[in-house]
Structure 1
Amino acid sequence: MNQPTFVLVHGALTDASVWRRISARLQDAGHSVIAPSLPMRSFDGDISYLKKFLGTLTGPLVVAAHSYAGSVISAPDALTEDVRSLVFVTAFQQDAGETAGALNGKFPGSLLIPDNLVVREYPGGAEVYLRPEKFGEVYAGDAGERDRKILAAAQKPFDPVTLEGSFANAASWHDLPSWAVVSTRDNSIPTEAQRWMAERARSTVVEVDSSHAVPLVHPDVVAGLILDAAG
């Protein structure tokens, strides 16, 4: 039986390096890992980008998504026929007609509020960052001070239009088996929102007492769940 390739997709405000400790564990165990970089300029653009990227890979795929990337892999048009299972890591599990922005506001608790954000213009639009002094509180409260500072300095911003994107057909998790990591001290995507989405999707759930930066802070837990998703 072919061993799957693990595709690790980052979300908003961090780049693919958020997976580095998980990548190391999976690679040390002899698995193939690849972590693409989403443009995050439009939701449809990210869907198209991931579909094209996955199309360059062969063999079975297990796709894991952090944060906003959960919305992207929920879109059926983002995946190829080689995808066998999905892992949502403190991530949106979006369905047809929904938006990430609305899901994030469904339950109270998110600190992704205007006072904590910085908006900068880029050619063709605007992009959102967390204020560096707020990065720990909002995103990575249980990470080490050095990690918090590095993450805050190297943010991958997102165009706010990405959070208003939707798709028309039933989400991928209706047809593919899914796993979910729920963080119980998440100040970005509220814990109750994560629980609600995971229960709706009938995902196999592991809860972790952690911030939104769970891939960095609890890599053993996340890597273990990704391996579970590989069967």
Structure 2
Amino acid sequence: MSQPTVVLVHGAFADASSFGEVVPRLLDDQIAVVASAVPNRSLNGDAAYLRAVLASIPGPVVLVGHSYGCAVATVAGTADNVSSLVYLAGFVPDQGESLGELAGRFADSELATALVPTPVPGGVDLTVAVDRFPAVFAADVDAGVARTLAVTQRPLSAAAFEEKAEAAAWHTKPAWGVVATADHTINPEVQRFAYQRANVAALEVESSHLLMLSQPTVAVELIKKAVLAVSD
């Protein structure tokens, strides 16, 4: 089998630049990378967008999600060329389950009180309060970087939390994952529960939600492990 392409799927309140510490490390190891944009409009709609991106990539894919991007990858990952998944501090729903239902099994994280709703045409957008962003999202990230991220957020439609996942690729695809134990955005218990249910080979790291920026080596090594498993 040829070496796969790594497709990176960002989460809510962020964009592909959240993988800025991961991408050069993968490229330096001669691993092909695509850092996809995610519309952040609806879970299944975002997954359909991602499937179109996947369809343009020849050969196998290791699909890597972060946060909400893990849920998008879970739905889109049923695409034929997806060989495996990597979940970084993420939501991993089952088919027919919404993110609200998954998170609702456990105590709320600090994100619940930090969200700012903004009415927009067709619905409501959510962002994280700028003054709360560093503590909730990026507590162990460079303060200057966190400050910039706080004011360059990509909003998430509130409807995305309540939309039920049309599919769950982990039923048929192998997966690896990282639990961020100091995560104040997604309760680590939500991550543990979902990973265990999905038979994800998981490790735990003391990190904020943005572990790709605070612990890039951990993320890269796990991605490379998934790539090697597919390449064998």
Shorter-chain TM-score range: over 0.9
Superposition misfits of 4+ residues, deviation over 3 angstroms? none
The 8 Å contact of residues 48 and 78 in structure 1, kept in 2 or not, is answered as no
1:154 corresponds in structure 2 to: 152
Amino acid of the structure 2 residue aligned with 1:129: T
Instruction: Give the distance between the partners of 2:166 and 2:221, measured in 1 at CA.
Output: 33
Alignment map for 1:52-71 (pairs within 5 Å): 52-71=52-71
Instruction: Choose from 181, 184, 203 the match for 2:181.
Output: 184
2:85 corresponds in structure 1 to: 86
Ranges in structure 1 where 5+ consecutive residues have no aligned partner: none
Instruction: Give the distance between the partners of 2:169 and 2:177, measured in 1 at CA.
Output: 14
Instruction: Give the distance between the partners of 1:156 and 1:18, measured in 2 at CA.
Output: 11
Alignment map for 1:73-152 (pairs within 5 Å): 73-75=73-75, 77=76, 79-113=78-112, 115-152=113-150
SS of the residue corresponding to residue 23 of structure 2 reads helix
1:173 corresponds in structure 2 to: 170
May I ask how many residue pairs the two structures share in their alignment?
Answer: 228
Equivalent pairs: percent with the same residue? 38
Amino acid of the structure 2 residue aligned with 1:86: L
Check if 1:211 corresponds to 2:215.
Answer: no
Instruction: Give the distance between the partners of 1:19 and 1:46, measured in 2 at CA.
Output: 19
Ranges in structure 2 where 5+ consecutive residues have no aligned partner: none
C-alpha displacement at 1:157, in angstroms?
A: 0.6
Amino acid of the structure 2 residue aligned with 1:215: M
How does the TM-score come out when normalised to structure 1?
Answer: 0.95
C-alpha displacement at 1:168, in angstroms?
A: 4.5
C-alpha displacement at 1:165, in angstroms?
A: 1.2
Change beyond 3 A, Cα 1:195–1:132: same
SS of the residue corresponding to residue 208 of structure 2 reads coil
The 8 Å contact of residues 84 and 175 in structure 2, kept in 1 or not, is answered as yes
Deviations 1:202-229 (A, max 9, x none): 1111111001010111010001000111
How does the TM-score come out when normalised to structure 2?
Answer: 0.94
2:224 corresponds in structure 1 to: 227
What is the RMSD computed on CA atoms of the aligned residues? 1.3
The 8 Å contact of residues 185 and 209 in structure 1, kept in 2 or not, is answered as yes
Amino acid of the structure 2 residue aligned with 1:222: A
The 8 Å contact of residues 50 and 79 in structure 1, kept in 2 or not, is answered as no
The 8 Å contact of residues 54 and 79 in structure 1, kept in 2 or not, is answered as no
Instruction: Give the distance between the partners of 1:168 and 1:17, measured in 2 at CA.
Output: 28
The 8 Å contact of residues 44 and 166 in structure 2, kept in 1 or not, is answered as no
SS of the residue corresponding to residue 143 of structure 1 reads coil
The 8 Å contact of residues 93 and 165 in structure 2, kept in 1 or not, is answered as no
Instruction: Give the distance between the partners of 1:79 and 1:182, measured in 2 at CA.
Output: 23
